[in-house]
Amino acid sequence: MQPLLLDFLKVTEFAAIAALPWVGSGDKIAADDAATTAMRNGLNEMSMNGRIVIGEGEIDEAPMLYIGENLGSGKGPEVDIAVDPIEGTTPTVNGQSNAITVIAAAPKGKLLHAPDMYMKKIAVGSKAKGKIDIEAPLAANLKAVAEANDKNVQELNVLIQDRPRHQEFIDITRSEGAKVHLFNDGDVIYATATCLENLDIDMFLGIGGAPEGVLGAVALKCLGGEMQGQLMPRSDEEIRRCIDMGLDDPRRALSHSDLVNTEDCIFAATGITDNLFLKGVRTSEGHHVTHSILINGKEKQLRYVESQYPEIQVV
């Protein structure tokens, strides 16, 4: 996977630049179309036999990068790809923070094939790896993470998305004495934040999209953290979709290895707007300037990358 590292980075950079004209526009469809088109074009130029396993749809319907779509030259390594051309479409078109474009990749068969449905997720950094259990009571997980991070529960910082479905999580976390930090958008960003020691985030918890869960799981795998998940199908149709994708027991707890079963993985993300650890795309003296993170799971190496492109190169 390592030879493809910079190629994947360029794809996220191009997609972020393509989305820039739509920041603050209010037009979600146009923004997503621009980023998706740029991402698809970039992926098709890569020397690989790629396949989308986490995408924006489950059938061939443009402009989505749909599950099962084949990308790349058709020559080279077989690669499973998870994408979100814009993670945070609403903040993008509202001119708000917390929008990125993101790709995760691994050898064929190593990423969970997850349908677009809700997934319960819990994520921690490297110190608490092996200490969490998504099926255990939240209070027990808080105590285990506190002990692993050499803290009192009252010193824990827990990220939870500000949604009505999370009120019970919020109430329990606060009743145990831990601090809850609410966020509006950016599931992948905040899951990854648990592995960045300078941010002092101890746990990420919530119910959100399964595709974002797999993307976050790759980032945490690359950084030595841990994510566990549990799909939450809400209908017989969603159960059938899980079974069709090879998940015989759709509601079972998913370990980190169920989500991404290799260290040979790549995670790349580029800021569209400013967020917790990335700057958004900027223009300066006729150039676009991008800010990205690039992580290789084998090396466990996090790189912050700033790139500059003449405005005329990428539309």
CATH of the domain at 242: 3.40.190.90
CA 46 – CA 43 distance, rounded (Å): 5
Q: What is the DSSP letter of 235?
A: S
Q: Are residues 131 and 191 in the same domain?
A: yes
Q: What is the DSSP string of 55-108?
A: -SBSS--TTS-BTT-EES-S-S-EEEEEEEEEE-HHHHHTT-S--EEEEEEEET
Residue 32 marked in a binding site: yes
Q: Is residue 270 part of a domain?
A: yes
Is 60 marked within a binding site?
A: no
Whether 115 shows a pLDDT value over 80: the answer reads: no
Write out pLDDT tens, residues 237-292: 888 888 887 788 888 999 999 999 999 999 999 999 999 889 999 998 889 999 99
Task: Give Cα separations from 179 to 127, 146, 152, 169, 220 (angstroms).
Answer: 19, 12, 11, 12, 22
Q: Do 134 and 250 belong together in one domain? A: yes
244 assigned ligand-binding residue = no
**Residue where a domain stops, chosen among 221, 240, 259:** 259
**290, part of any domain:** yes
What is the pLDDT, as a whole number, of residue 13? Answer: 98
Question: Above 60 in pLDDT, residue 61?
Answer: no
pTM: 0.93
Same domain, 70 and 123: no
Whether residue 200 is annotated as binding a ligand: the answer is: no
Same domain, 140 and 193: yes
Residue 303 marked as a ligand binder = no
Instruction: Specify whether 131 is located in the same domain as 252.
Output: yes
- Asked if residue 3 belongs to a known ligand binding site, the reply is no
How many domains does the chain divide into?
2
- Are 180 and 302 found together in one domain? no
The reply, when asked if residue 212 is annotated as ligand binding, is: yes
Q: What is the CATH number of the domain that holds 48?
A: 3.30.540.10
For the stretch 82-99, pLDDT in tens is: 999 999 999 999 999 999
Instruction: Tell me, yes or no, whether 113 lies in a domain.
Output: no
165 marked as binding residue:
yes
Asked if residue 56 belongs to a known ligand binding site, the reply is yes
Structure confidence at residue 59 (pLDDT): 45
118 a known binding residue? yes
The answer to whether the annotation marks 186 as part of a ligand binding site is yes
Pairing of strands 226-231, 253-254: antiparallel
In a domain, 315, yes or no: no
Please give the residue range of the domain that contains residue 102. 2-108+265-310
What pLDDT, on a 0 to 100 scale, did the predictor assign at position 275? 92
Final residue of a domain: which of 259, 283, 298? Answer: 259
Tokens of 270: 């580029």
User: At residue 213, does pLDDT exceed 50?
Assistant: yes
Q: How confident is the model at residue 3 (pLDDT cuts 50, 70, 90)?
A: confident
